[in-house]
Amino acid sequence: MTSQAAVCLPIASAATAYDYWELLKPRVMSLVVFTGFVGLLLAPGPIHPVMVVASVLCIAVGSGAAGAINMWYERDIDALMERTKNRPLPQGRIQPGEALGFGVTLAVGSVLVMYTLVNFWSAFYLALAILFYVGVYTIWLKRGTPQNIVIGGAAGALPPVIGWASVMNGTTLLPWILFSIIFLWTPPHFWALALYRHEDYAKANIPILPVVAGAETTKNKILLYILILIPLSLFPVYQGDLGMIYGGIALILGILFLALGIYVKRSQNPRNGLRLFFYSIVYLFLLFAAMVGDKFIKSSLAFSAISFVLC
């Protein structure tokens, strides 16, 4: 009886608060939250500060929930890869059931809170992003096709749409342009990392482009995506949604992105792929920061002009 009882005892968790924080993929979450917040700031309508906090918090929690479920599902391949082997699940600090329950609870909670405190369409797009990342990218595409990051990038591109919908309870063209910018940015961003970590991906049998097509093909695809991304990033200027301040910054950032891509193309050192990966993060952050800066500078100038006329 004693031995049987011992077998039935649950395994004690060795997880700390930091382990659960790590489960949320905080570095990924930070960029997701930032682009979502930019979408919210660019939307033309008014929004109550409480709804702003609720929207940003729900985007953060929803992103973290998707990351936690992703780690639960990929714990076998994470254990094989140098980059991910020290995560809480491969190390046994968090049990699989704990991670799955944590992720699902946060996912459902974030969508329900978004629907209750903000509006329907922001909750809809948040749920879509979570389901797409988990169901389409993690479960269906990642282990099955080299197009995994091309199609799966749609999940990470939705936050500006969610932020915009939080204000407007719907969307227009501009948030979908922001979606398209992130969607096209995602493949060269991840392929640059994969150039450096291709042995890791090969060991885990993940068909990312450098593994199945080789470094040269990957470098060519990176350049192609950057070349398409540059004019797309200027489209808000063509549309009149943003001004020349943003346009100038976007053009400079795009030229630097292309120059570094060409440098990686000509280099045989895989570490340069890592440099391109880090620059791509800086690129996206500064690009979206420039959108906010452009809008508020234009608003300040317009306010000053109106004040001058009235005086």
pTM value is: 0.91
Handedness of CA 68, 83, 267, 211 (dihedral sign): negative
Q: Both tokens of residue 289?
A: 């920061």
Q: Where in the chain are the domains?
A: 16-169, 172-302
With a cut of 50, say whether residue 76 has pLDDT above it: yes
What CATH class does 16-169 carry?
mainly alpha
pLDDT digits (tens, 9 = 90+) for 59-73: 999 999 999 999 999
pLDDT digits (tens, 9 = 90+) for 232-249: 999 999 999 999 999 999
With a cut of 90, say whether residue 302 has pLDDT above it: no
With a cut of 50, say whether residue 91 has pLDDT above it: yes
Closest CA to 191 of 223, 231, 159: 223
Q: For residue 159, which phi and psi values (nearest 5 degrees)?
A: -50, -40
Instruction: Identify the pLDDT of residue 299.
Output: 63
Task: Evaluate whether 246 touches 237 at the Cβ level (below 8 Å).
Answer: yes
Closest CA to 59 of 32, 96, 93, 98: 32
